[in-house]
Chains A and B, each alone.
Chain A
Amino acid sequence: MTTKKKNSDTLTGKSKSLPGIDQLQLQMLQGLPAATYTCDSKGRITFYNEAAAKLWGREPKLGVDQWCGSYKSYRTDGAPVPSETSLMSVVLKEGRAVTGEEIVMERPNGERLHVLPHPRPIFDSKGNLVAAINTLIDITDLKKVDNALRESEVRFRTVANTAPVLIWMSDKNKNCTFFNKGWMDFTGRTFEEEAGIGWVKGLHPNDLEKCMNMYVTSFEARKNFYLEYRLRRHDGEYRWIASRGEPRYLPDGTFEGFIGSCTDINDSKMNAAILEERIAERTKALNEAVIQLERSNLELAQFAYVVTHDLQEPLRKVKTFTDRLMVKTARKLNEDENLYLMKIKNSADRMSGLIKDVLNYSILTRSAEPYIPTDLNYIAKHVLTDFELLITQKKATVELGELPVIEAVHLQMNQLFNNLIGNSLKFTSSEKKPVIKISSSDVSEVEKTAYRLDRNKRYVKISFADNGIGFNQEYAEQIFEIFQRLNGNDEYPGTGIGLALCKKIISNHQGTIHAESSPGVGATFHVLLPKKQF
């Protein structure tokens, strides 16, 4: 309010001292929204309007302050402009208008503004330079927007050029207008070569149609796209590229073109292809191996069956005719000769036992026989009855614990118990009364892991412990191999198939067997079997 009052005072009081400007013109100047002021020929400020006071942030003293009403002025490069070298002084000295020189004004509070001055000389009716008038246009806001734009553009280019991908941008006419450094480095071509639709020359001929179709279709539908194609690298190699494009719009929704990025996926694509190929190869090989294995297993079983069957025939003859010879000639032969015949008979009997065991072993597969709930208590008692005579002869004690019911092939369980109990009764120590303990327990998670059993199944452990001659723990695995024997035939006759057969039965039932022993102390066989088969 004070400003206005003062100005109106100035206006009325000093109107005549403003040469070249009449009262009406003065009033018009006063009301202008642009900052306007005048100086006399000596450069002293003789008039300023409200907008000028507002711009400067101060009110200069009329007739005292010179050249410009601002507190301080600078050039755009930041160098201070002494008021006596201001544009007004140039105008008054040279009597001509000066335009377009942007300056920076500082208000008393330190705030800086970008201003475009438009100083002009004023002449009287005789043509004498009597004063000058200046209009100051505040372009600060414009400058800010311009700077922000410039900064944004620089930031985009920095990001685009440092990104490890290929970036492109096109205008609304599908012409590419920007490629980042990544792109240029990849193709090794110049911007001029790539610009517009020049980049299309780098496409693999087989991908050209697919790529252009996608580009044009997406472009016209203003839809983002994803496409894989081959692009020629600077070294001439075509590389697989994954390309993504997005339409871009101005804030007001005007479509401006597309922007997109591309990544070199050649290695991963090739790796995936190689990997798939390898997997296919391995799978094929594996399937072939499985078929081969099945075939050879079948052949082996057939072979064993045929061999044992055919071996048995002549052996039976050896036995039969030895028998006939013994019956017919017994009285004519001496003791030695009879002993030889007896040895032939015994050998033939042993051979016969071996063949029967091998035959048994070879036909024992995961057969068609059903897996039914089998009470192992019943099995054990049944087998012990078979061994009754031997148990009495050996004065052996059998401690039979409570056993579970599991899904199993009845006959095979019978065979298993028969072999393991028979084993314990066979390898007894002459120094101790034989004690055989049969017990069962559940299988813990730790044991499951240790023996690589199916985590989702429940297992039982059946242990057969004896106090017989035992064996060295180092043979604990070997004893389950077919024909493996640790003891001499005279002392402990056998075919070396019993435990191998046990192992096969247990593996048919998806279980496992292991042994613990030390010589002279005894042996324990642990059988781990699943409660249910499926």
Chain B
Amino acid sequence: MVYIIDDDSEDLELIKTAYDETKASEDIIAFEDGRDFLNYIELKENSKKSPAYILTDLKMPALDGIQMIEIFRSNNKYNIIPVVMLSTSNLNYDIERAYKCGVNCFLTKPDTYNGWKATVDKIELWVKRWYEAHQV
């Protein structure tokens, strides 16, 4: 299960298409607002079904990626869930504060379609390794 949060519908479309074409994860749930995602997660808490990973944008209106992950990470239950942040930014400033708030992987958004597919491949591989490393 992949939870994707991005206010940019075009990027969301690109990501979804890239996931489709690479036939990576089967389940993708997309949110255009971080608050929707947090509400959803809270309801899901009882179903004991944990997300596989979270893919989020940085710059979003109202609640940005950093603030959203801070709230998400405040619940120890999700400690194991890896968070990947995808942003247009490649600034040290943004990268540092992303890792500080609990992001596990920071990637810059690609600017070609092949770039997007490569990025999805990279993320899938990285998440696989993450769970291998954190296997209890």
Residues of A within 8 A of B (CB): 309, 312-313, 316-317, 319-320, 323-324, 327, 352, 356, 359, 363
Give residues 94-136 of B contacting A (CB, 8 Å): 109-116
Can you list 14 contacts pairing A with B, beta carbon distance less than 8 Å?
A309-B59, A309-B88, A316-B88, A316-B109, A319-B112, A320-B110, A320-B111, A320-B115, A323-B111, A324-B113, A327-B113, A352-B111, A359-B91, A363-B91
Q: How far apart sit A316 and B109, CA to CA, in the bound complex (Å)?
A: 8
Residues of A within 8 A of B113 (CB): 320, 323-324, 327
In the complex, which residue of chain A has the Cβ closest to the Cβ of B90? A356
In the assembled complex, how far is the CB of residue B116 from the closest CB belonging to chain A, in whole angstroms? 8
In the assembled complex, how far is the CB of residue A370 from the closest CB belonging to chain B, in whole angstroms? 14
Contact at A313–B111, with CB atoms within 8 Å? no
Known A312-B89, A327-B114; 9 more pairs at CB < 8 Å:
A309-B59, A309-B88, A309-B89, A313-B88, A316-B109, A320-B110, A320-B111, A320-B112, A323-B113
- B20: interface (CB < 8 Å): no
In the assembled complex, how far is the CB of residue B75 from the closest CB belonging to chain A, in whole angstroms? 29
Q: How far apart sit A479 and B93, CA to CA, in the bound complex (Å)?
A: 29
In the assembled complex, how far is the CB of residue B22 from the closest CB belonging to chain A, in whole angstroms? 16
- B8: interface (CB < 8 Å): yes
Contact at B112–A313, with CB atoms within 8 Å? no
- B28: interface (CB < 8 Å): no
Contact at A319–B111, with CB atoms within 8 Å? yes
- B24: interface (CB < 8 Å): no
Residues of B within 8 A of A359 (CB): 91
Residues of B within 8 A of A (CB): 8, 10, 14, 59, 88-91, 93, 109-116
In the assembled complex, how far is the CB of residue B5 from the closest CB belonging to chain A, in whole angstroms? 16
Interface of B is mostly: loop
Residues of B within 8 A of A320 (CB): 14, 110-113, 115-116
Residues of A within 8 A of B109 (CB): 316
Residues of A within 8 A of B10 (CB): 317
Q: How far apart sit A327 and B8, CA to CA, in the bound complex (Å)?
A: 23
Partner of A313, one of B8, B14, B90, B91: B8
Residues of B within 8 A of A352 (CB): 111
In the complex, which residue of chain A has the Cβ closest to the Cβ of B93? A363
Q: How far apart sit A317 and B14, CA to CA, in the bound complex (Å)?
A: 10
Contact at A323–B112, with CB atoms within 8 Å? yes
Q: How far apart sit A320 and B90, CA to CA, in the bound complex (Å)?
A: 17
Q: Which of B109, B110, B112 has the most CB of A within 10 A?
A: B112
In the complex, which residue of chain B has the Cβ closest to the Cβ of A356? B90
Residues of B within 8 A of A313 (CB): 8, 59, 88
Residues of B within 8 A of A316 (CB): 88, 109, 111
Q: How far apart sit A359 and B92, CA to CA, in the bound complex (Å)?
A: 12
Residues of B within 8 A of A312 (CB): 88-89
In the complex, which residue of chain A has the Cβ closest to the Cβ of B17? A324
Q: How far apart sit A472 and B115, CA to CA, in the bound complex (Å)?
A: 44
Residues of B within 8 A of A309 (CB): 59, 88-89
Q: How far apart sit A356 and B112, CA to CA, in the bound complex (Å)?
A: 18
Q: How far apart sit A312 and B88, CA to CA, in the bound complex (Å)?
A: 7
Q: How far apart sit A375 and B88, CA to CA, in the bound complex (Å)?
A: 34
Residues of A within 8 A of B8 (CB): 313
Residues of A within 8 A of B112 (CB): 319-320, 323
Q: Which of B93, B113, B114, B116 has the most CB of A within 10 A?
A: B113
In the complex, which residue of chain B has the Cβ closest to the Cβ of A325? B113
In the assembled complex, how far is the CB of residue A390 from the closest CB belonging to chain B, in whole angstroms? 23
In the complex, which residue of chain A has the Cβ closest to the Cβ of B14? A320
Q: How far apart sit A317 and B111, CA to CA, in the bound complex (Å)?
A: 7
Q: How far apart sit A356 and B111, CA to CA, in the bound complex (Å)?
A: 14
In the assembled complex, how far is the CB of residue A357 from the closest CB belonging to chain B, in whole angstroms? 13
In the assembled complex, how far is the CB of residue A358 from the closest CB belonging to chain B, in whole angstroms? 12
In the assembled complex, how far is the CB of residue B31 from the closest CB belonging to chain A, in whole angstroms? 19
In the complex, which residue of chain B has the Cβ closest to the Cβ of A367? B93
In the complex, which residue of chain A has the Cβ closest to the Cβ of B116? A320
Q: Which of B59, B88, B91 has the most CB of A within 10 A?
A: B88
In the assembled complex, how far is the CB of residue A315 from the closest CB belonging to chain B, in whole angstroms? 8
In the assembled complex, how far is the CB of residue A422 from the closest CB belonging to chain B, in whole angstroms? 19
In the assembled complex, how far is the CB of residue B72 from the closest CB belonging to chain A, in whole angstroms? 23
Q: How far apart sit A352 and B112, CA to CA, in the bound complex (Å)?
A: 14
In the complex, which residue of chain A has the Cβ closest to the Cβ of B108? A316
Q: How far apart sit A319 and B14, CA to CA, in the bound complex (Å)?
A: 13
In the complex, which residue of chain B has the Cβ closest to the Cβ of A310? B59
Residues of A within 8 A of B111 (CB): 316, 319-320, 323, 352
Residues of A within 8 A of B115 (CB): 320
Q: How far apart sit A323 and B117, CA to CA, in the bound complex (Å)?
A: 13
Q: How far apart sit A164 and B115, CA to CA, in the bound complex (Å)?
A: 94
Q: How far apart sit A526 and B132, CA to CA, in the bound complex (Å)?
A: 54
Residues of B within 8 A of A363 (CB): 91, 93
Residues of A within 8 A of B110 (CB): 320
In the complex, which residue of chain A has the Cβ closest to the Cβ of B87? A309
In the assembled complex, how far is the CB of residue B122 from the closest CB belonging to chain A, in whole angstroms? 17
Q: How far apart sit A356 and B88, CA to CA, in the bound complex (Å)?
A: 11
In the assembled complex, how far is the CB of residue B113 from the closest CB belonging to chain A, in whole angstroms? 5
In the complex, which residue of chain B has the Cβ closest to the Cβ of A313? B88
Residues of A within 8 A of B114 (CB): 323, 327
Residues of A within 8 A of B88 (CB): 309, 312-313, 316
Residues of B within 8 A of A317 (CB): 10
In the assembled complex, how far is the CB of residue B1 from the closest CB belonging to chain A, in whole angstroms? 26
Q: How far apart sit A363 and B112, CA to CA, in the bound complex (Å)?
A: 27
Residues of B within 8 A of A319 (CB): 111-112
Q: How far apart sit A352 and B108, CA to CA, in the bound complex (Å)?
A: 14
Residues of B within 8 A of A324 (CB): 113
In the complex, which residue of chain A has the Cβ closest to the Cβ of B58? A309
In the complex, which residue of chain A has the Cβ closest to the Cβ of B113? A324
